[in-house]
Amino acid sequence: MTIKYPNGKKYSFKDDILSKESSSVEFSNRGMTLEDEINRSNEYYLNNGIAVIHKKPTPIQIVAVDYPKRSAAKIKEAYFRRASTTDYNGVYRGRYIDFDAKETKSATSFPLKNFHAHQIEHMRACLQQQGICFAIIKFVTDQSVFLFKASDLIPYWDNQEHGGRKSIPRQVIHDKGYQIDYKITPLIPYLSAVDCII
């Protein structure tokens, strides 16, 4: 299957996996990705009337389908209709929440290449409208998870455009962010960290 961006550039699943630096490193033998863990946490929040936060679907337009048999259609070519923004959004305590989830294999810093310019601009626009915007960052080497505010992330993004470093030191994320410890329910209780920034 071929998927292309709106500008016609070919999309590669391999490149996306590398850019997100997702990992199948297991935590307590679950083998879940950060996205799986957040989805499970969001389900808990929804089922318990705490928050309504969902993963945004990626808008794709299918342009070619192969029908080898009626019951087995295969997508051969598709395009992203538009650049996606962040991974999640919703409402918590009457406030708009918008965030992205990223994993890194680096133990000492978070590479800014994990973000795209349109995601940063989306975060910037959300902040201008008084939205609560952040990234949940997981260091897969030791399974540490942090909430890092967009207002702290954006200056690092802007500085790299002017010759600054291309990553955020882990120590900065530790000092300015909010560490989220794993629990049973919800698995990643990130709204406790959100309470600290509201």
Distance separating the N- and C-terminal Cα atoms of the chain: 43
pLDDT digit string, tens, across residues 54-109: 997 665 556 667 777 767 777 666 555 555 678 899 999 999 999 999 999 999 99
- Report CA-CA distances (Å) from 88 to 132, 147, 176: 12, 14, 22
Q: Which helix (H) or strand (E) holds 4?
A: strand 2-4
Distance CA 127, CA 122 (A): 9
Chain-centre distance for alpha carbon 180? 15
Could you tell me the residue ranges of all domains in the chain? 32-57+83-197
Pick the range with the lowest mean pLDDT from 23-27, 98-102, 131-135, 163-167.
Answer: 23-27
Contact 61, 81 (CB under 8 A): yes
CATH fold of 32-57+83-197 reads Trna Endonuclease; Chain: A, domain 1 (3.40.1350)
**108 vs 21, higher pLDDT:** 108
Question: Per-residue pLDDT tens for 163-176?
Answer: 899 999 999 999 99
For 3-13, what is each residue's pLDDT tens digit? Answer: 555 555 565 54
